[in-house]
Each structure stands twice: as C-alpha cells, then as structure tokens.
Amino acid sequence: MWDLLFKTAMSFRDAKLWLWLMLPFVLAMVLVSLLGYGSIAYVLNSDWLLSSAWFVEVNQQVDEVESWLLGVPLIGAGLVWFFTLLFGVIIGLVTLILGSYLVLLFAMFITGFLTDILIKTVRNKDYPGVIYQGHGSVWGMLLKVGGYGLGLLLLFILTLPILLIPLVNIVWFWMLGFLFFRYVMVLDVGQVLLSHPQHQASKSFQNWTPTLTLGVLYSLTLLPFVSFFVPVWAVIALAHYHLARLQAESGEVLVKEMSTS
C-alpha cells in the first residue's frame, strides 16, 4: 500500500498531471457553489421546509425537552448547555461528512472524463510498451454506478436514526461513502485498463493493496478542499497498480515463450 501511495505521489513530477489535477478542482468548485450549496441553502430557508408539519413538530419537541431539562434542580441549565453542545457537534461532524460527499461526487464526475488521459500519461511515463485492453461501455458503467448508488442511498435512508449515536454515526456514514467511492473508482479504471475476466478477478474488496490505498485516500476527504483532488489521486494509484501487474504478466508470458522456443 505505501509503495503504491509513493508511486502516486512521484507521478506528479510530470507537469501534465498537475493540469489534470487542477481541472476537477476548478470545475467542481463552480458546480458545488452553484448547484450544491446553493440548492441546499435554498431548501433550508424555504417556506416549504420551515412551515412543514414535520419541521414544526420537531421544533415543538425540542422546546419541550429543553423546558423539562431547565426544570431539573441545580443542574438544569448545565444539562441544556451540554446537550445543545453535543447536538451541535454531532450535526457539525455529520454536515462535514455529507458536505465532503457532495464535493467528492462532483469531483468524481469530472474526473471520469479524464480517466483515459490520466492512465495514458502514467503508462507512457512509467510503463512504456504495456498493452492494455478495456471492456464495457459508458452506458453500462452508468447503469452499474446508478444501481449501486441507489442501493447505498436506500441503506442511508433506512439508517438515518444512527445520526443520533455519537461516533457510530461518523464511522457508519464514512463507510457508506467509502463503499461508493471504491466501487466507482475500481469500475472506472478497470473498464479502461482490464478485460472483463481481469476486472472480475481483481475487483474483490479483499484485494487489500488497492482497497487500503483507496481507504487512505478517501480518509483525506475530511480535510478542507482535499475532496477535489482525491479522485485524480485514486485513478493514478489504481493505474499504477494495474499497469505494474500487466507489465509483470507480460514479462512472465515472454519468458515462457522464450523457454518453450
């Protein structure tokens, strides 16, 4: 894993990769600002939400709980302060994770158009002569990603009560995001670099080197602005992993052919 991360970092000695790294950043920043946070702000401040029966009922229940806590002798005000702080921390952390998901989704979408260019850049610089054979189609990939994403979204909705459990909520929603991120990255790079049998053989979650590498990269999305760059790093890391394996396999085939001749 560490060797793969090192190779990924060293790839940026090529100035071309810096261009492809900054492109998703700029475009995703525009999309997130206009479509993402703008839409969320509109919904949160809309009359539809503020006047909805559900929102009003939640506010009433919060007021009742606060009044009950204030009625506790001696420590009532302290309890209100503690639970308000705890609720604020939980909401802040969950908002951070969901916000990083939003940024990451836009960055992944833009990076998807650059996958072939990134792979060719890595191949030409570090693995010249390696021949690779892709499989599948764009529409097929979109259907697979859409189906997988809808499944995770349904799971997310069903597990919304976990939001109320400190720490567990962070780990759970991080895991859901990672599952989607890993699935898309492995499928995207695999369709460009590998034949269908090769992809089927390498996509297992227990293929620990790429899984752990993607886990480390995905963890960085919790840092401000890093989500814009993670998909490009992931494509480059997986390109190194698969191209190195293809290079080794082609070398083994060549040795066998020479030995038999």
pLDDT value at position 213? 92
pLDDT value at position 187? 92
Cβ burial, residue 89 (10 Å; 0-12/13-18/19+)? exposed
- How far is CA 233 from each of CA 9, 169, 179, 209, rounded to the nearest angstrom? 8, 27, 17, 15
pLDDT value at position 254? 36
pLDDT value at position 253? 41
- What the block records as the tokens of 167 is 């720490």
Question: What is the rounded distance in angstroms from the CA atom of residue 12 to the CA atom of residue 236?
Answer: 10
pLDDT value at position 202? 86
Mean pLDDT of successive 10-residue stretches along the chain, which has 261 residues: 81 77 74 61 56 61 66 68 71 66 78 86 86 82 88 84 74 86 91 88 86 90 78 91 86 43 47
pLDDT value at position 237? 92
